[in-house]
Amino acid sequence: MLTGKNAVVTGSTSGIGLAIARGLAEQGANVVINGLGTPEENEGVRAAIEADFDVKVLFSPANMLKPVEIAAMITDAEKALGSVDILVNNAGIQFVSPVEEFPEAKWDAIIAINLTAVFHSTKAAIPGMKQRGWGRIINTASAHALVASPFKSAYVAAKHGIAGFTKTTALELAEYGTTVNAIAPGYVWTPLVEKQVADTAKARGITEEQVKQDVMLKAQPTKKFVTVEEIAAVAVFLCSDGAASITGSTLPVEGGWTAQ
């Protein structure tokens, strides 16, 4: 379905981004993966996708805190593959703390990686998409783009910002065969969620098991963590011709969380 298309997926050495990169490669797209990690780890992820799906897979070490590196990730991908047809802005970090104790540096990093980086990569990718008259931009937002939880002020602010940025860019690109959508996952069991269990337990004064059952899964009527493969399946659908008229939306994939 995506043979001949080239994709860049930020934050794709782990978790949701990795599953999306694999999902796009499975459909025949060449993929640029990106993330932090050791050269050995990154090469292991890259080589595995290439071997499993017989597509070109490149690695970009761009740090989403650095605008110059983000722009270079897109131009390097265009040079190496010929185009960037699909951009998945997925890299993200989390920090859990009451607002009055929230470290300024953590606030700045969350806004930079989860929101501002999406501006820089999108800005760099748009001219090529407009010129070719086809593009797909998918932003990994969160249920926290639609509703809030206490102690996640920077994350909720950034993800609400993603929903707004998605709408704006969708309008600007609507006549250029290019859709822009956000996916809003509920709790997906990945390293990002695993890491916040202890901090949430501390912030709320409860045990880690209570965090999983009474905070995270309490929010999700299905009482199940969403899987990374389910998110990847939605991303693949959004890249299909059948999704050509879906643009500007933030699609909840959260087990019914925001229906409540």
String of contacts with ligand NAD for each residue 87-126, x by CB under 6 A? ---xxxx-------------------xx------------
Comparing CA positions, the residue from 190, 186, 170 lying closest to residue 247 is 170
Six-digit token string for 79? 């040079």
Cβ closest to ligand NAD, residue 174 vs residue 258: 258
| Residue 108: C-alpha distances to residues 24, 103, 129, 153 (Å) | 31, 9, 30, 12
| Residue 65 lies near ligand NAD (rule: CB under 6 A) | yes
Q: How far is the CB of 107 from ligand NAD (least distance, A)?
A: 15
Residue with token string 């932090």: 36
Strands 57-60 and 86-89: unpaired
Residue with token string 């700045």: 108
Cβ closest to ligand NAD, residue 131 vs residue 224: 224
Q: How far is the CB of 33 from ligand NAD (least distance, A)?
A: 8
Rounded CA separation 179/181 (Å): 7
Among 6, 13, 200, 250, binds ligand NAD (CB under 6 A): 13
Q: Pick the stretch among 28-36, 99-107, 163-171, 232-240 that binds ligand NAD (CB under 6 A).
A: 28-36
Among 30, 63, 116, 179, binds ligand NAD (CB under 6 A): 63
Rounded CA separation 238/98 (Å): 36
| Residue 252 lies near ligand NAD (rule: CB under 6 A) | no
Cβ closest to ligand NAD, residue 190 vs residue 249: 190
Cβ closest to ligand NAD, residue 39 vs residue 191: 191
The amino acid that residue 28 corresponds to is G
- Listed in sequence order, the residues at least 6 apart from 254 whose beta carbon sits closer than 8 Å to its beta carbon are 143, 184, 185, 186, 187, 219, 220, 226
Q: How far is the CB of 12 from ligand NAD (least distance, A)?
A: 6
Catalytic (active site) residue 155: yes
Comparing CA positions, the residue from 56, 74, 76, 75 lying closest to residue 137 is 74
Among 178, 187, 200, 255, binds ligand NAD (CB under 6 A): 187
Binding site for ligand NAD (CB under 6 A): 11-17, 34-37, 63-65, 90-93, 113-114, 140, 142, 185, 187-188, 190-193
Positions marked active-site: 155
